[in-house]
Copies of this chain bind each other. A is one copy, B any other.
Amino acid sequence: MKYSASKEDYLKAIFHLQTEQSMVTTNALAVAMQARPASITDMLKKLKSEKLLIYERYKGFRLNNEGKKIAVQVIRKHRLWEYFLVHKLKFGWDEVHEVAEELEHITSKKLIDQLDAFLNFPVTDPHGDPIPDRSGKFNSPKQLNLLDFPMNTPAKVSSVASQTSDILELLDHKSIHIGTRLEIRKKFLFDNSIELKVKNQAPITVSEQVAQKIFVHNDE
């Protein structure tokens, strides 16, 4: 029960994709993995023969319980390492993803459980994503996309759905972080941009593309 870094990355990508579409397609995974469709098919055959997913040619695929279990453990490692990098090694939240992408493949159960304890069992990573516990359980807090959130209602930023440093840099610049309390002041129908008010700050405007990536929950 030890899988290559590449296989772990595949399982993780499929896991994320199948929360949206119930059957994942070869092309979708090819985009996510930045590989050609032919390579995806090759790997699917291997993962199927290792009984980590169900797959019938031309019909799509999805992880079975065993595949999910492994994917979740990789996600757990990824997010714990991101937390470590930000809170212990003073990395910015926009520079941890690449490194965690490597660290997540270190194979030592003790390592990750001790790390978890050392970090005091954090429940969300620096991007606000939930960290599953050692049994694989997520404590996902309810959250809404900023675009669907009501105006003039206290909100707290809970996660940012992107790992690319461009958007994180932009949010950094506008002083929007996980935990930032804000309210929506205006929604411009013309371009779906949104004006936000953060306490003690001048109002700021974010584009639809940015708002789409921000998730919040009710702040009390």
Contact = CB atoms under 8 A, between A and B. Distances in A.
Interface of A: 85, 88-91, 95, 98-99, 102-103, 106-108, 110-111, 114-115, 118
15 contacts: A88-B118, A89-B114, A89-B115, A89-B118, A90-B114, A91-B114, A95-B110, A98-B108, A99-B106, A99-B111, A102-B106, A102-B107, A102-B108, A103-B103, A103-B106
Nearest to A115: B89
A114 to B, nearest CB: 4
A88 B114 CA distance: 9
A128 B85 CA distance: 27
Contacts of A98: 108
Contacts of A114: 89-91
A72 to B, nearest CB: 21
A118 B88 CA distance: 7
* Listed residue (A85, A102, A111) with the most chain B CB atoms within 10 angstroms of its CB: A111
B88 A111 contact: no
A86 B111 CA distance: 11
A99 B108 contact: yes
Contacts of A106: 99, 102-103
Nearest to A112: B89
Contacts of A118: 88-89
A54 to B, nearest CB: 31
